[in-house]
């Protein structure tokens, strides 16, 4: 307590010294807190939170992060409020949601991502999951009693693929590796929801698809693979609505970083990942465990120059195959994040 007899000027001087000490102490604590974490911490929590809308498919890291609940709590400490949009049955419908300003971030494969950018959709590439040559997350499947045993047997057959997506890319790459002219195999453009019954009922002969549809087909409908690993492993991509990346680059980057941390947690807890998939997709435990194993680890990073070069080669190949309407410059398609 300041003595009553102290002069007025002494009181003011003591008050200023005390205030200065508190300010320096507070600034020091703030710097210490910021240096101890990889994610920037907002010191403006009194401001209205920025909203990040995460679109998600049936499967993948985002719906699991939604179930787990840690992502929302973590981002709220950064003054970012998470909202959810979905679920969507495939990348194409998710991209429509981003294109229609109903979502800001969503995960897809690199093929539909590049196709969407080529079509002029307002998208940019935020982060990505690098290819895993040994992963079993994509395959061409047939019915158990089919005469098709190997890719060469697809000549003259009907194969379901998603147009401009991972299925069409897989089929074309398999045919290219086997030196089979693509014109000798009929591509039937179907969504997964339509392709599955078409295969089981015999309307089509084979289906180029991804997890968890592969495991559902194998374990519940007695289908079998005619391919194992992918001849040209693909990237997973976190796509961002272009305006969101321009207007809120720090919030977008913080959200992508938090998603990658959720992925690392799941990599260490594969049983929990399978349990989340069971709840999200209403599939059996056996399917969820096999699909989780086949997909491999969920590890997202920000793209480097090598990634850009690899994605550019894929985009140029897609243009050569006349899957894309125009060339995509991958370097300019990377989100301008701070």
Mean pLDDT of the chain: 86
- Sheet strands (E) in the chain: 50-57, 80-88, 105-109, 123-129, 138-143, 158-161, 186-189, 206-210, 223-225, 236-241, 300-301
Q: How far apart are CA 227 and CA 198, in angstroms?
A: 20
Average pLDDT (277-306) is: 91
- Highest mean pLDDT pick, 58-62, 225-229, 294-298: 225-229
Residues 70-95 have pLDDT tens digits of: 999 999 999 999 999 998 988 889 99
pLDDT band at 13 (very low <50, low <70, confident <90, very high): very low
Average pLDDT (122-135) is: 94
Q: What angle do CA 307, 293, 171 make, to 5 degrees?
A: 60
Average pLDDT (38-47) is: 47
Average pLDDT (246-258) is: 96
Residues 204-213 have pLDDT tens digits of: 999 999 999 9
Average pLDDT (122-136) is: 94
- At residue 34, the pLDDT reads 36
> If we measure between CA atoms, which residue out of 63, 138, 53, 59 comes closest to residue 97?
53
In sequence order, what are the residues at sequence separation of 6 or more whose Cβ sits closer than 8 angstroms to the Cβ of residue 245? 124, 126, 252, 335, 336, 337
pLDDT band at 321 (very low <50, low <70, confident <90, very high): very high
Q: How far apart are CA 113 and CA 125, in angstroms?
A: 8
Q: How far apart are CA 1 and CA 303, in angstroms?
A: 58
Segment (H or E) for 43: none
Residues 253-283 have pLDDT tens digits of: 999 999 999 989 888 988 988 998 898 888 9
Average pLDDT (54-70) is: 89
- What does the buried/exposed string (b/e) look like for 135-158 if buried means 16 or more CB atoms within 10 Å of the residue's CB? bbbbbbbbbeebebeebeebeebb
In sequence order, what are the residues at sequence separation of 6 or more whose Cβ sits closer than 8 angstroms to the Cβ of residue 257? 38, 39
Question: Which three-class secondary structure state does DSSP give residue 327?
Answer: coil
- 118 neighbors 262 (Cβ within 8 angstroms): no
Rg of the chain taking only CA atoms, in angstroms: 25
239, 242, 248, 251: CA torsion to nearest 10:
0
- Helices (H), ranges, 119-241: 166-177, 192-201, 213-221
249-267 and 61-68 helices, crossing angle to 10°: 80
- At residue 46, the pLDDT reads 55
Does 250 score more than 80 pLDDT?
yes
Q: What angle do CA 54, 56, 57 make, to 5 degrees?
A: 170
pLDDT band at 15 (very low <50, low <70, confident <90, very high): very low
**Percent of the chain beyond pLDDT 70?**
86
Q: How far apart are CA 316 and CA 324, in angstroms?
A: 9
Q: How far apart are CA 202 and CA 58, in angstroms?
A: 25
């Amino acid at each position: 307590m300041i003595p009553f007899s102290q002069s007025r000027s002494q009181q003011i001087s003591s008050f200023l010294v005390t205030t200065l000490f508190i300010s320096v102490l507070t600034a020091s604590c703030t710097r210490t807190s910021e240096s101890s974490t990889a994610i920037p911490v907002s010191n403006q929590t009194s401001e209205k939170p920025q909203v990040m809308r995460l679109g998600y498919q049936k499967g993948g890291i985002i719906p699991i992060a939604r179930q787990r609940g840690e992502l929302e709590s973590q981002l709220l400490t950064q003054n970012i409020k998470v909202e959810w949009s979905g679920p969507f049955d495939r990348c194409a419908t998710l991209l429509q949601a981003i294109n229609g300003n109903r979502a800001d971030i969503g995960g897809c494969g690199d093929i539909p991502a590049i196709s969407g950018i080529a079509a002029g959709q307002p998208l940019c590439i935020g982060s990505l999951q690098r290819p895993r040559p040994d992963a079993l997350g994509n395959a061409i499947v047939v019915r158990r009693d089919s005469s098709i045993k190997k890719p060469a047997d697809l000549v003259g057959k009907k194969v379901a693929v998603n147009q401009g997506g991972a299925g069409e890319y897989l089929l074309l790459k398999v045919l290219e590796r086997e030196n089979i002219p693509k014109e000798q195999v009929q591509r039937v453009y179907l969504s997964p929801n339509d392709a599955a019954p078409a295969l089981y009922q015999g309307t089509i002969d084979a289906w180029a698809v991804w997890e968890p549809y592969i495991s559902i087909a194998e374990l519940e409908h007695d289908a079998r693979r005619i391919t194992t690993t992918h001849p040209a492993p693909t990237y997973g991509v976190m796509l961002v609505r272009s305006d969101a990346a321009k207007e809120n680059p720090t919030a977008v980057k913080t959200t992508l970083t938090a998603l990658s941390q959720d992925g690392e947690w799941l990599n260490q807890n594969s049983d929990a990942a399978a349990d989340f998939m069971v709840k999200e997709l209403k599939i059996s435990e056996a399917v969820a465990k096999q699909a989780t194993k086949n997909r491999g680890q969920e590890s997202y990073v920000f793209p480097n120059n090598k990634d850009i070069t690899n994605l550019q080669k894929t985009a140029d190949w897609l243009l050569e195959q006349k899957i894309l309407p125009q060339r995509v410059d991958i370097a300019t398609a990377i989100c301008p994040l701070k």
